[in-house]
Amino acid sequence: MLTLIAKRAVLGVFTLWLVSVLVFAGTEILPGDVAGAILGQSATPESLARLRAELGLDVPALQRYAEWLTGFVQGDMGRSMASGQPVADLLWPRFWNTMALAAYAGAIAVPLAVGLGITAAALRGGIFDRVSNVAALAFVSLPEYFLGLLLVLWLSVKTGWLPSLADTYDGMGLAAWFRATTLPMLVLVMVTTAQILRMTRTTVLGVMDQPYVETAFLKGLRNGRVVLRHATPNAAAPIVNVVSFNIAYLITGVVLVEAVFNYNGLGRFMVDAVSRRDLPLVQAAAMIFGGVYVFLNMVADIAAIALNPRLRHPRGKEA
């Protein structure tokens, strides 16, 4: 099993490298002209050439890639084109803001959703199952900003309970932080809970159709016991996958939510950088998002290996 995990980790690092190639290729080899975009109408051939040299765009792409990657690995992400500040200084505080929001939402959504999903599967076809199914479908279908705007209207504008914008700043108290981020957290919780609930239910139901579950029922065991002791442990690995898939979604779904609530996170940061076409910022933000995504997928796979008894105790070669 350890070799399997080690293999998966190596694959993760390799994927990360591929991501860096794609990000670099996407930003620098596509036929967009950064210098032209910056200068706009006032571009002359001379000023374009000067700016390209200044930005280091006259160096061959492969060499630029090597320099960019070595810098990145050492924590040097270059400087913003717009402000000239080091990208790392701008990026990390926002990264932690986004992580804090995602963690806040995830800590509530994951246990809630898995619990509700297993309950819905146990009570298949009952009122609870149907209601939770329809509600989940509705929440999955609604765009984040629709939910966000509704919450702002009801919980902020009409009642004044919570602030409509998620203003956070350095040194604000913990209570104030929770108060400011509750609305965006609620939106994220609604959307991810719905997703995880639906997928958990399907996964557990898939296990419920297995012969050994039928045997357990025929032994005369009660429904709740079969679900909790026979079905759920075998559904654990797929559920872990579902959860990590949705946490990965949380990380990007956060982009839209941050825009709704004007939260100072990595998503809004990246969107601003894209609209200003600030190349180093976009590259760095894309790498961080991609890295988190790859990392979460890797953790999920490793957890699935660790949770799968057949992989934990391999029988000879075939495992």
Nearer Cβ to other proteins, position 33 or 54? Answer: 33
Check residue 171 and give left, alpha or beta (phi > 0: left; psi -120 to 50: alpha).
Answer: left
Handedness of CA 29, 33, 34, 37 (dihedral sign): negative
Q: How far is the CB of 114 from other proteins (least distance, A)?
A: 21
The count of chain residues that interact with other proteins, using the rule CB under 8 A, is 54
Do you know the residue count of the chain? 319
In order of 60, 193, 209, 270, 293, the CA distances from 249 in angstroms are 36, 12, 29, 16, 9
10 is a site residue for other proteins (CB under 8 A): no
Closest CA to 18 of 311, 291, 302: 291
8 is a site residue for other proteins (CB under 8 A): no
The structure tokens listed for 36 are: 């032209």
Give burial (CB, 10 Å; 0-12/13-18/19+) of 318.
Answer: exposed
31 is a site residue for other proteins (CB under 8 A): yes
Instruction: Using CB under 8 A, pick the residue from 135, 167, 277, 299 that binds other proteins.
Output: 277
Q: How far is the CB of 170 from other proteins (least distance, A)?
A: 25
43 is a site residue for other proteins (CB under 8 A): no
Closest CA to 149 of 282, 288, 278, 262: 262
The span of 91-99, 147-155, 224-232, 304-312 binding other proteins (CB under 8 A) equals: 147-155
DSSP-based helix, strand, coil % in the chain, nearest 5: 80, 0, 20
79 is a site residue for other proteins (CB under 8 A): no
190 is a site residue for other proteins (CB under 8 A): no
Q: How far is the CB of 175 from other proteins (least distance, A)?
A: 24
Instruction: Using CB under 8 A, pick the residue from 1, 4, 8, 15 that binds other proteins.
Output: 15
Site of tokens 């060499």:
63
Nearer Cβ to other proteins, position 2 or 218? Answer: 218
Measured CA to CA, the distance from residue 243 to residue 240 in angstroms comes to: 5
Nearer Cβ to other proteins, position 234 or 297? Answer: 297
282 is a site residue for other proteins (CB under 8 A): yes
Cβ atoms within 10 Å of 253's Cβ, excluding its own:
20
Nearer Cβ to other proteins, position 118 or 250? Answer: 250
Q: How far is the CB of 313 from other proteins (least distance, A)?
A: 29
138 is a site residue for other proteins (CB under 8 A): yes
Measured CA to CA, the distance from residue 164 to residue 144 in angstroms comes to: 15
9 is a site residue for other proteins (CB under 8 A): no
140 is a site residue for other proteins (CB under 8 A): yes
Q: How far is the CB of 234 from other proteins (least distance, A)?
A: 18
Measured CA to CA, the distance from residue 110 to residue 196 in angstroms comes to: 7
The span of 38-46, 82-90, 223-231, 247-255 binding other proteins (CB under 8 A) equals: 247-255
Q: Mention every residue, 6+ apart, whose C-beta is less than 8 A from residue 284.
A: 72, 77, 78, 87, 88, 91
Measured CA to CA, the distance from residue 83 to residue 226 in angstroms comes to: 61
Pattern 98-127, binding to other proteins, x per CB under 8 A? ------------------------------
DSSP classification of residue 317: T
Q: Which residues bind other proteins (CB under 8 A)?
A: 15, 18-19, 22-23, 26-28, 30-32, 34, 37, 134, 137-138, 140-146, 149-150, 152-153, 157-158, 164, 209, 248, 251-252, 255-256, 259-260, 270-271, 273-275, 277, 279, 282-283, 285-286, 289-290, 293-294, 297
